[in-house]
Amino acid sequence: MATFVLVHGAWHGGWCWSRITPRLRAAGHIVHTPTMTGFGERSHLLTKDVGLETNVTDIMNVLLWEDLTDVILVAQSYAGMVTTSVADRMPERIAALVYINAFIAADGVSQNDMLPDWRREMIEEELKSDPDAWRMPAPSPELIGVKDPEVAAWITDKMTIQSAKTMADRATITGAVDQITNRTFIRATGYPNSTFDATVKAYQAHPDWRGIELDTSHDAMITAADEVIEVFEEVAASIS
């Protein structure tokens, strides 16, 4: 039995793990799928002041208030900024880090700094159309590689707007996260991003880490649930 904390990416919420969570729990694992401030069922709390630090505190508090240790901390997309920051502050609680097409936080670097040029320019144009210039509209699922129309419609119905501050804020990383040597990066290749390509190659070349490529959308936890669960089980076995 392992303890998983699954952290959603941009515009999503805890709902995005619904194809993963029941099966992990049926296998005997403890699973938490928190929704961060400003997203999903907590979208009513969204303001322009919700930033990276807000979301880091969200996840730190899950670990603290649920008394979680030996955690497999999973991040998808934007959540890599969050979970890496959390792991840097409380490495003693983390057994393994798993990233799914995630932006891995580095000291003094924002997610905007790591976006491909085409995506950053698209977001900048979208913000210009907003009189307050802080609300980032959700992308179409097709843009992130979701091809099934029914799945795309479900994701579209669930996604919410996001504060631009979350992606503009720069991370503070001390290096304590380096204590966590059990790491896996899942590269979902259906979403073009050279940063993710370089990251999975680095993980594949590392003697202790795992780099895995899946031919699926950016939302691999939805469109390739079987393969993602298999990876999660492998990680759980590696810490048992």
Contact 95, 182 (CB under 8 A): yes
Can 77 be counted among the known catalytic residues?
yes
User: Can you tell me the distance from the alpha carbon of 236 to that of 4, in angstroms, rounded to the nearest whole number?
Assistant: 9
Strand-by-strand arrangement of the 183-188 sheet: 30-32, 3-7, 71-76, 94-100, 183-188, 210-214
Vertex 229: Cα angle to 224 and 233 (nearest 5) = 155
User: Can you tell me the distance from the alpha carbon of 44 to that of 41, in angstroms, rounded to the nearest whole number?
Assistant: 7
Query: What is the helix (H) or strand (E) element at residue 214, kind and residue range?
Result: strand 210-214
Return the half-sphere exposure (C-beta side, CA atoms, 13 A cut-off) of residue 114: 25
Catalytic residue selected from 43, 77, 85, 163? 77
Active site residues: 77
